[in-house]
Structures are given as C-alpha cells and as structure tokens.
C-alpha cells in the first residue's frame, strides 16, 4: 500500500507518485473475483462500474510503463477482467450495464428504469479495451488471448441497436440512445446529443467493424449545431462548442483518455484547443470567484462531478457550491500542463494532510464548509493516471489511435486529419 504521507519531491517524482497511488485504487482495491473497478471506497464492495473499469485498464498499462507492476502481472490481471466481462457479465445487445456485481456479473440497477445496457459506459470500457489490445502485442498465449477477447467483445457490441430504430416512430433515428432495458425498453428515453462527455460513443459506434451506425449520425445526432456550437468568449478564452463556461471538466476528459484530440478537427473545432480553453475558463472563474468561496485562487480550481458536503453534483462555473475536485485540474494536464502541475503541487503540499490518502488525492474538498471527502470515486480516479501519462508520453493516445478502425471512421465523418504516418 502506498504511504499516505506527503513529503518533498521533484515535479517528475511527484507526478509518478500521484500516478502510482491513484493506480493502486484499481490494482489493490479492484474486485477480488473479477478485477473490475469498484464504484467507490464507501460503496457496496460488490458494486463495480463499467466505464471506470475501462479507465482502469489504461491505468494498468501505464503502471507497467512506470514500473509499478510487471508486464506479466498486468497481462494476467487484464485477462482475468476480460474473461469475466465476456463470460460472466450480463450484456444487452452487446453492451454492459453501468453497474454490475463484481462477483456474479449480474446487473445492479443504476435507477428504476436503468437496469440494462448503457452505451456510454460501454464506450468508455471499449476505449480502454482497444488501448490494451494495441499494448499487448506479443505472440505469447496470454497476450494473444487478450487481443482475441477484446476483438470479440468489440465486435459483439450492437451500436446500431442503440439508434432505437426498432422502436416504431424512430425508424429513421440518427441519434444514439443512452440506455435500453429488457424490462422497460427505451423508458429512460435519453438521446445522446452533444456537447458533453459522450463523443467517444459516437466515434466507436461509427467505427464498429460489425454493427456500425451511419457516419451521418455524427452531425445529425451528436453534433447538432443548435445544441452544440458555442462561439462565445469567457474570461478572454474562446469556446467553440459546449455549454456556457464549458460545463463540468469531465466533459473534456472521458472521451479523450484514448482519443487524441490534437492535430485534427471536425466542422466545429480542434478539441484539444476547445478543452484547453474550457480548462482555462474554469481556472479564470476560480480566480474571479464571483461567489466568494473560501480558498479559490489561481492554484485552487477545477470543477466537475464529485462528492460534496451535501452528497454529490455536476459542479461547473454555472453550478458551483465551493467544491473543488482534484481530478478536474489533474485530468486537464495535457491541455494546461503548467497550471495543472502548479495546482497538483499546491494540493499536495498545502492540503496533503487532509486530501492525500492511500490511493492519492481524495475525491473532493470544500474549504468554505471546511470539508474534505473521505472517499474515492472510480469514475473520477480513473481518468487521472492516463491523462497525466498523455501529458508525459502520450501513451494512451498513441495506443488507442493506432487501432486500424479509428482513422477510417474519422475520414468517413469528414474530420480534417494530418497525413497518415
């Protein structure tokens, strides 16, 4: 177990320490039967989460590169996870549920009608799977089986089903629907329309080798201009797409843990630039601190979904209660390295005695309420390690983008791309 003690280190040592401690959540606290990511430190110990398990796969390959575990140990753990997901976990037209029991694979309902497939959580999981498929490229039995298992489950996902075209009245749908339940059908009725955290669902659905949706769904479903475009400046930073002030920062993390937004653009923008500016808008908002929350400044910033003193919420500049979430600034590191590293150092050295624990930075804190979270949430913790590594070596970006299905998908949509290498 990594020590919970905070002490002086160089920047590089501190980045590695944060990565190792955070990774340990997925390695040491992973479910003992399935290896999947548990929802949170204080949740039921059998409650595992699909999307964060995808991020957890990326944590494990970063851990190999950083020397936290061996390649053989990582391959064994990842194969265990993949076998469980393939053989034990309930699936719904190839998609997994948001929550599942890590011992049995049975779905744990997320809400009354959400007891079936979740195509967004599935997309996060597949993003992680495709990343590890590229990483484990040896010809030995274990790594070959990893690649084969990933390919099978990637091909199993019926993205086309989640267009809802089987439902009368939706036969021409070009919009993915988030959920489908064998008990309640499309009762959740949640169309996936951007801009938010869900871009990767459309990219993978269009890229699918077996059950693709039409490329036209990107602009006619996901990126509808009236919902999508922004075009305003906030605190002097231009925002091309997304809600005012960018929304919670996980919008700029979850789809870009594997998908590299650099050096490419759709009809709206370059998403690296958009994510960088949204991150800087958040920082500028915290410097401005219009609601006079305690502690906000150039080093204390970052609003996203997290726990808070009253439960939890999607925190953003337009929905702020004084709660800062470390993963927000840490996950922005590829976009804002100087600002994010300065904030990481401040959190560690100034608040480390209350904020740093066995698995790294705890979920959130609120200085106005003199409150520090006593938990970790897998979905927040999961993006931290790969996004720091994308800043350091671009590892996860390079691996995911090397999958042969990705570039043809972007070309089919009409993205502007650099020449192939």
Residues 38 and 30: beta-carbon distance below 8 Å: yes
Task: Decide the pairing of beta strands 356-357 and 107-108.
Answer: unpaired
Cα diameter, the chain: 63
Rounded to whole angstroms, how far apart are CA atoms 188 and 181? 9
Return phi, psi of residue 99, to 5°. Answer: -115, 145
The pLDDT value given to residue 3: 45
CA 74 vs. chain centroid, Å, equals 20
In-domain check, residue 420: no
Q: Among all chains, which residue has been given the structure tokens 């996203």?
A: 304
Residue 295 lies in a domain: yes
Is 418 among the domain residues?
A: no
* 6 is a domain residue: no
Within-domain flag for 237: yes
CATH value at residue 375: 1.50.10.140
- The alpha carbon of 398 is separated from its chain's Cα centroid by a whole number of angstroms, namely 16
- Average pLDDT along the chain, 421 residues, taken 10 residues at a time: 58 98 99 98 94 99 99 99 99 99 99 98 99 99 99 99 97 98 98 98 99 99 93 99 98 99 98 99 99 99 98 98 99 99 98 97 99 97 99 99 99 96 76
- What pLDDT shows up at residue 2? 40
> What domain count does the chain have?
1
Say if 1 falls within a structural domain.
Answer: no
The per-residue pLDDT for 420 is: 87
Asked, for residue 117, whether it belongs to a domain, the answer is yes
Domain residues for the domain of 377 are 11-413
Cα(184)–Cα(115) distance, integer angstroms: 8
> Which of these, 272, 275, 256, 269, lies nearest to 383 by C-alpha position?
256
Q: How far apart are the first and last CA of the chain?
A: 42
Strand ranges across the sheet with 107-108: 47-49, 99-101, 107-108
Position 9 scores a pLDDT of 85
Single pTM value for the model? 0.97
Sorted by sequence, the CB contacts under 8 Å of residue 286 that are 6+ apart come out as 296, 297, 298, 300, 301, 302, 303, 324
pLDDT of residue 328: 99
Q: Residue 5 falls within a domain, yes or no?
A: no
The CA R_g of the chain, rounded to the nearest whole Å, is: 20
């Amino acid at each position: 177990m990594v020590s919970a003690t905070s002490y002086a280190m160089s920047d590089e040592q501190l980045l590695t320490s944060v990565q190792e401690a955070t990774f340990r959540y997925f390695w040491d606290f992973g479910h003992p039967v399935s290896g999947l990511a548990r929802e949170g430190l204080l949740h039921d110990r059998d409650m595992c989460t699909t999307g964060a398990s995808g991020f957890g796969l990326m944590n494990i390959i970063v851990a190999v590169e950083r020397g936290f575990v061996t390649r053989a140990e990582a391959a064994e753990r990842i194969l265990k996870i993949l076998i469980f997901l393939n053989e034990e976990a309930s699936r719904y037209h190839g998609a997994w549920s948001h929550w599942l029991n890590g011992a049995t694979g049975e779905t744990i309902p997320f809400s009354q009608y959400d007891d079936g497939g979740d195509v967004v959580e599935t997309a996060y999981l597949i993003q992680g799977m495709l990343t590890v498929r590229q990483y484990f490229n040896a010809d030995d039995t274990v790594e070959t089986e990893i690649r084969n298992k990933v390919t099978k489950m990637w091909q199993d996902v019926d993205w086309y089903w989640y267009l809802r075209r089987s439902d009368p009245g939706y036969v021409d749908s070009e919009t993915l629907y988030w959920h489908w339940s064998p008990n309640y059908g499309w009762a959740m009725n949640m169309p996936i329309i951007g801009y938010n955290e869900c871009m990767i669902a459309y990219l993978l659905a269009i890229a699918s080798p077996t059950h693709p949706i039409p490329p036209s769904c990107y602009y006619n479903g996901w990126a509808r201009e009236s919902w999508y475009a922004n075009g305003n400046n906030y605190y002097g930073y231009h925002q091309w797409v997304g809600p005012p002030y960018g929304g919670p920062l996980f919008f700029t993390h979850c789809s870009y843990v594997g998908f590299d937004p650099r050096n490419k653009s759709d009809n709206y923008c370059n998403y690296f630039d958009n994510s960088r500016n949204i991150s800087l808008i958040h920082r500028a908002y915290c410097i401005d601190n219009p609601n006079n929350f305690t502690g906000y400044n150039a080093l204390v910033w970052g609003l996203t979904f997290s726990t808070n003193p009253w439960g939890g919420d999607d925190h953003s500049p337009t929905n702020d209660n004084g709660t800062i979430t470390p993963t927000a600034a840490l996950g922005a590191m590829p976009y804002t390295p100087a600002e994010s590293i300065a904030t990481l150092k401040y959190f560690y050295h100034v608040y480390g005695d209350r904020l740093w624990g066995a698995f790294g930075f705890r979920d959130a804190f609120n200085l106005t309420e003199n409150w520090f979270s006593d938990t970790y949430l897998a979905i927040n913790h999961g993006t931290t390690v790969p996004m720091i590594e994308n800043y350091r070596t671009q590892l996860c970006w390079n691996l995911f983008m090397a999958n042969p299905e990705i570039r043809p998908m972007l070309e089919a949509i009409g993205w502007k791309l650099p020449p192939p290498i």
